[in-house]
Amino acid sequence: SFVNVKMEFSSNKKVLMVTSDIPESAIKLLQSNFNTIVNYEHNREAMLAKVPGVSALFWSTKVKLDKEMIDAAGPQLEIVGAMSAGLDNIDVDELKRRNIKLSNTPEVLNAAVADIAVLLALAASRRLHEGRLHIENNTWETNLLWMLGQDLEDSTVGIVGLGKIGEAIVKRLTVFNVKEFIYCGHREKEEAKKLGAKFVTFEELLRQSDFVIISCPLTDETRNMFNDDGFKKMKNTAVLVNVGRGGIIDQPALVKALKGNQIFAAGLDVMTPEPLPSDHELVKLPNCVLIPHLGSSTMKTRTKMAELAANNIIRGLRGEELLTPVFH
C-alpha cells in the first residue's frame, strides 16, 4: 500500500526528504536508514521550506530540482535518488559539478511504458476515443465504411530513440506482423540489428512511417523536434504516439496537424503542461487519445522504481557503488 508516514526522529540518523507518497516497502527501507521527511504536496515553496539540512533527496516529483533547490538544501547534500527514468526536471550538470551523486530508475519501467505505447498505437489507429464519442452522442452509424482505422499489420513503424523502452516496444509489436521497423537517433545500435530494425535519418523516418513512436528523452536536442515542418513530412495516414515527454512535440503544431488531417491521429501519454487543463484544444480533438502520464503507473513497476531509488540512496550514503548511477 502507499502510505503517508509520520515518524520519530532519532539523533544519529541523517535526514532524507521524500517528495511524494511512495510505496510502503520503500518507505520502510528508507526509515531504517534515515530520519525521513515526507513532503507530498508537490509544491515548490513547501519543498524549499523543508529541504534545508537534508543529506539525501528522494526525488519523485515533477517540481524542478534546480540550483535554487540545491542551494536551499545546503552543502551537506550528498545524493539525489530520482524515482524516474527521465531527468528533464533535474539539473544534472549542477549536481555533477558539486559532486552530488545522482541515480535514476531505468530498466524497471521498460515493460510498463512499452505496454502503454502499444495501447496508444492501437487506440489512436483504431479511433478509440472518437468511437466512444459517437456512442455518447448517439451518432453511431452502421455503414461498413464508417470509422475506418489504420492497420499495424504490414505497416512501417518508426521509433524515435531506440533505447531499452524502444526495444521493448519493437518486441511487443513484432507479433502484429509489422512490415518494417525503422529508427533514428544518435547512432546505429547493435541490439537493433538483432531486432531487424533499420537505422534511418529523422526525415526518412517521418516520410516512411505509418506509426511514429517517440520513446526518447527530452533534451535540448529533442525539444520541439516535431514541428510544423515535421508534420508536413509525415503521411496523412500516420499515427503518432508519444511516451517520452510532451516537450518533444511542438504542441500547437500538433493540434494544427490533427485538426487539418495532416496526420491521422495521435496517442499521447505525455503533454505540455502536465496536468493538461480540461479545456485544452487537444482534449477537444476526436483523433487524439490522451492518457495522464501513466506509462510506468502499475503497482509493481512503481514499487520497483521506489525500491530502486531507495536502495541507490542507501548505498550512496554508505559510499557504496550506486545500482543505477546517472554519472560516475
Positions that interact with ligand DGY (CB under 6 A): 84-86, 109, 295-296
Least distance in angstroms from the C-beta of 67 to ligand DGY: 21
Assign 225 to helix, strand or coil: coil
| Phi, psi (rounded to 5 degrees) for 206 | -60, -45
Strand-pair partners of 102:
80
Q: Could you give phi then psi for residue 325, rounded to 5 degrees? A: -70, 150
Query: How near is the Cβ of 84 to ligand DGY at its closest, in Å?
Result: 3
- For residues 230 and 246, which CB has a smaller minimum distance to ligand DGY in the complex? 246
Three-class SS of residue 133? helix
Q: Among residues 109 and 234, whose Cβ is nearest to ligand DGY?
A: 109
Q: Counting Cβ atoms within 10 Å, is residue 321 exposed (0-12), middle (13-18) or buried (19+)?
A: exposed
Nearer residue to ligand DGY within complex by CB, 62 or 172: 62
Contacts of 309 (CB under 8 A, 6+ apart): 26, 58, 59, 60, 81, 82, 83, 103, 105
Distance CA 198, CA 216 (A): 17
Nearer to ligand DGY (CB atom), residue 86 or residue 149: 86
Active site residue 328: no
Residue in 42, 134, 280, 293 annotated catalytic: 293
Distance of closest approach, residue 295 Cβ to ligand DGY, in angstroms: 5
Task: Quote the CA–CA distance of 242 and 259 in Å, as a whole number.
Answer: 18
232 Cβ contact list (under 8 Å, min separation 6): 262
Which position's Cβ is nearest ligand DGY? 86
What strands lie across the sheet with 288-290, from one edge to the other? 197-199, 180-184, 156-160, 211-214, 239-242, 265-268, 288-290
Q: Using an 8 Å Cβ cutoff, are 35 and 13 in contact? A: yes
- Measured from the CB atom, is 79 or 243 closer to ligand DGY? 243
- The three-state secondary structure class of 22 is strand
How near is the Cβ of 193 to ligand DGY at its closest, in Å? 27
Q: Would you say the C-alpha torsion 113, 115, 121, 127 has a positive or negative sign?
A: negative
Q: Which is nearer to ligand DGY, 53 or 217 (CB)?
A: 217
Active site residues: 293
